[in-house]
Amino acid sequence: MLRLGRREFDAHEPVIMAIVNRTPDSFYDQGATFRDEPALARVEQAVAEGAAIIDIGGVKAGPGEEVTAEEEARRTVGFVAEVRRRFPDVVISVDTWRHEVGEAVCEAGADLLNDAWGGVDPRLAEVAARYRVGLVCTHAGESEPRTRPHRVAYDDVMADILRVTLGLAERAVALGVPRESVLIDPGHDFGKNTRHSLEATRRLGEMVSTGWPVLVSLSNKDFVGETLDRPVKERVVGTLATTAVSAWLGAQVYRVHEVAETRQVLDMVASIAGHRPPAVARRGLA
């Protein structure tokens, strides 16, 4: 059982985490949800389309203009509070690596801290423990936040992913984060080249077999673009193909831009796997 905020999710229940970037320079939408009004409209649409988690980020992952902790908090804290007010049952996640921001968003009502940079600030897990919220433990190849990988190498990329994420997860639980609220993430593209991310996807079952719920953040990423030689706006098909493979291998949470399309993919895979009945079953029965 995965427990986040007021929600509980069964082991075979796929969960969609919708991305809402509070940044003026995000790689995907170039700031479409930087202002409050369109960002709240995005939340409403995502929830209507089947997202159970809203992931709010105040700093883009890639290099760019410096964003201080104070500015990151300004972009996220008030928005978290408003989403909490309007959508009391939705799980609110905040994508941050800074404990100061984590503290502020937990005070505002966040349920989950999405640490995409692999514990670079160890105090973030302490915040999650203090507030009894969830934590995403990610493999980032020991990269510094907002840097791109350069000639990174692993003897065995999945072995390193398991070593790091399981270590972070066990540390979080030892600090007091509820075990049922901890997820592990292979960190596609983070500290990895395209071949590493493809191998991490291919071997995702090794993460699933640890018993920790697995989150994947695949949406329109560079490894999809390089694999198919497609620009950012033409990566949806590759993303959905990778989503289907990840679902078949047992990943549970999917951080995405395209909620409705992802919902259909996850429902189809769940039905093929026998975890979900068809929505309609009339063929051959009339």
Residues labelled as active-site residues? 221, 255
Q: Can you give the three-state secondary structure of the chain, one letter per residue?
A: CEEECCEEECCCCCEEEEEEECCCCCCCCCCCCCCHHHHHHHHHHHHHCCCCEEEEECCCCCCCCCCCHHHHHHHHHHHHHHHHHHCCCCEEEEECCCHHHHHHHHHHCCCEEEECCCCCCCHHHHHHHHHCCEEEEECCCCCCCCCCCCCCCCCCHHHHHHHHHHHHHHHHHHHCCCHHHEEEECCCCCCCCHHHHHHHHHCHHHHHCCCCCEEEECCCCHHHHHHHCCCHHHCHHHHHHHHHHHHHHCCCEEEECCHHHHHHHHHHHHHHHCCCCCCCCCCCCC
